[in-house]
Amino acid sequence: MLKSIYLNKIKFTVVFVTVLFIDVCIKIYLNNNNYRFFSKPLILISLIAYYYINMKHKRKKVERNVVFALFFFLLGDFMILNYLNKVFLVLSMLFFAVGKLFFCLKFKSKEDFEFSRLFPFSIIVYLGITFVISLIYKNLKAFLIPGLITLFISLLMLNLAYLRKAQFSKFSYFYVLFGCLLFVLVESINAVNTFNKILPFPSFFNTIFYGISMYLIILGITEEDDDVLKSYGELN
Q: In the chain, pLDDT over 70 holds for what percent of residues? A: 82
pLDDT of residue 113: 57
pLDDT of residue 42: 92
pLDDT of residue 227: 44
pLDDT of residue 43: 93
pLDDT of residue 144: 73
pLDDT of residue 225: 64
* Contact of 157 with 179, CB cutoff 8 Å: no
The whole-number mean pLDDT for each consecutive block of 10 residues of the chain, a chain of 236 residues, reads: 80 94 87 82 92 71 83 92 81 92 84 62 76 74 77 88 80 92 88 70 80 95 65 48
Question: Domain-by-domain residue ranges, the chain?
Answer: 2-232
**In whole angstroms, what is the distance from residue 186 CA to residue 102 CA?**
19
Per-residue H/E/C for the chain: CHHHHHCCHHHHHHHHHHHHHHHHHHHHHHCCHHHHHHHCHHHHHHHHHHHHHHCCCCCHHHHHHHHHHHHHHHHHHHHHCCCCCHHHHHHHHHHHHHHHHHHHHHHCCCCCCCHHHHHHHHHHHHHHHHHHHHHHHHHHHHHHHHHHHHHHHHHHHHHHHHCCCCCCCHHHHHHHHHHHHHHHHHHHHHHHHHHCCCCCCCHHHHHHHHHHHHHHHHHHHHCCCHHHHHHHCCCC
The per-residue pLDDT for range 82-111, each reduced to its tens digit, is 877 888 888 998 999 999 999 998 888 655
pLDDT of residue 198: 62
